[in-house]
Amino acid sequence: MEISHIISFIVSTVLIINILLAAGVLFFERRDIGYTWAWLMVLFFIPILGFIVYIFFGRKLTRKNFYRLSIEERSVLQSAVEQQLAAFEKEQHPPLLEAYSDVVRMNLISSHALLTYHNEIAIFNDGEQKFKALFDDIRAAKKEINIQYYIIQPDTLGQKLRDELIKKAREGVKVRVLYDEIGSKKLHPRFFKGLHDYGGEVEVFFPSLLRPINFRLNNRNHRKLCIIDGDIAYIGGFNVGNEYLGANKKFGYWRDTHFRIKGAAVNYIQGRFILDWHQAGKHKRINYNEFCFNAENHKGHLPVQIVASGPNSEDEHLKNMYIKLITSAKRSVYIQTPYFIPDTSFMDACKIAILSGVDVRIMIPNKPDHPFVYWATWVYAGELVKYGAKILLYENGFLHAKTLVVDGEVASVGTMNIDSRSFRLNFEVNAVVYDQKIAEQLQEMFHKDSEACQELTPERYKARSLVIRIKEGISRLLTPIL
């Protein structure tokens, strides 16, 4: 057989295999059509190698009973939701909660996010303040510390956290640490050896079979939670690393937002930790009664829902909640996000709000940490500028906050970015607060941050260079899989 025939046979075989692989993606995985077409482009233009990339980045997660809940556990959860729905219909509510009762119901039905009424919240937007408070609470712990972070760096801050946890484990406090392997890629398992020596437990979310090879690169646990004695919980955008204290010269000052919550909502943050811990755990399942749940009467008055979302669900709970809040706005929508790469439904919600006369302001960093993401963000920001949105480019370091404030009445703070990765690929969690005082505090922080911003005006966006336009064009093609 001539060499040309052999080459032709190999090429034909590769193309046939590639078509079959592409057909599998198209017909057997029901996904957003933009996401499907983006992967088809990869498969057709990079034969075989594209499918290898898909194995690592594109596969759907098996959703059936992802958290391995027993029939009894699922029944108890569903019963709690149904009972609260029935009670919510009958009870009298404060005017603000009544105004957002449809959002409460949607979160209950969609995400099983039970509403808690008796909470108090402190807001942190500076790393030094947040970690000082966290370390003080860790030192005061008496029974149990449960920590979950997407990123734990083995640097000065990471070592300080570890050493504080070792001290508490030595005192007999139960310590559990859960981290994401890809987010914490610099972290070696030996980092927590001292904690293990005193009975501390450490688990890794979706670990690699072999450390350099991980088939779940796309589905990462992006949550940041800390629960102490079942009484105090932290939730928000800060990870653990020196850069979150503003110590990285590349990023400069790190602007983020985090809640410290006391009250009934802590039990549901604890419940979220338990689910992730059991999913990641290599050891025996832990009984729920082995965890701290605080049943005491709380003095706070803030209504809070803890809403989680992830690729284990068909519904994009957090994105849908944002859309619902944006389209219900009467006066203002303030968004802070490090990445703004929304899908069509989110963009339409913003446009509808703007065209309805709502003051829509979106603050993004003017400093890229991922170039493709940065230029894709400009594409969508520029489109909303044409409709009348106020796009603010944060100049005082890096903006990493993930906040939404609607009409100065309801607010969401958590881990979700405005992009496809957070909408449907990562495991995320936000706290939603139905309280004017908290919403106004966050809105005031937004106004303060605005002083360190430049506005992306229609004139400025139109005047961007050809090079920037090309970068935007390329990045936009990749947005469904960024």
Is the Cβ–Cβ distance between 118 and 263 less than 8 Å? yes
356 token code pair: 């309805």
Catalytic residue (one of 112, 168, 174, 222) = 222
Active-site pick, 126, 137, 180, 229? 229
The candidate with the shortest Cα–Cα distance to 251, out of 236, 261, 241, 262, is 241
Structure tokens at 373: 């993401």
Catalytic residue among 112, 130, 168, 224: 224
Which H or E run contains 147?
Answer: strand 144-149
Total number of residues shown for the chain: 482
Q: Sort strands 398-399 and 254-263 into parallel, antiparallel or unpaired.
A: parallel
Q: How many other C-beta atoms lie within 10 A of the C-beta of residue 330?
A: 12
Crossing angle of helices 33-45 and 3-28, in 10° steps, is 170
402 is catalytic: yes
Beta bridge partners of 403: 336, 413
Question: Does residue 407 carry a catalytic annotation?
Answer: yes
CA distance linking residue 390 with residue 287, whole number of Å: 50
Other beta carbons within 10 Å of 5? 9
Which H or E run includes 21? helix 3-28
In the residue annotation, 222 being an active-site residue is answered as yes
Q: Give the CA angle between residues 225, 249, 235 to the nearest 5°.
A: 10
Burial of 194 from C-beta contacts in 10 A (0-12 / 13-18 / 19+): middle
Q: Among 336, 320, 308, which Cα is nearest to 392's?
A: 336
Determine whether 283 is an active site residue. no
Catalytic annotation present for 400:
yes
> And the tokens for 106?
């949607």
Instruction: Find the catalytic residue in 126, 231, 256, 407.
Output: 407
193 is catalytic: no
Whether 157 contacts 241, CB under 8 Å:
yes
143-178 burial code (b ≥16 CB/10 A, e <16): ebbbbbbbbbbbbebbeebbebbbebbeeebbbbbb
Catalytic residue among 400, 419, 435, 471: 400
Catalytic one among 130, 402, 419, 471? 402
Q: Rounded CA gap, 338 and 398, in Å?
A: 8
Contact indicator for 117, 87 with CB cutoff of 8 Å: no
Judge contact between 316 and 309, C-beta under 8 A: yes
Residue showing tokens 């602007």? 255
Please state, in angstroms and rounded to a whole number, the distance separating the CA atoms of residues 72 and 221.
26
**Distance separating alpha carbons of residues 329 and 385, to the nearest angstrom:** 19
Which residues are known catalytic residues?
Answer: 222, 224, 229, 400, 402, 407
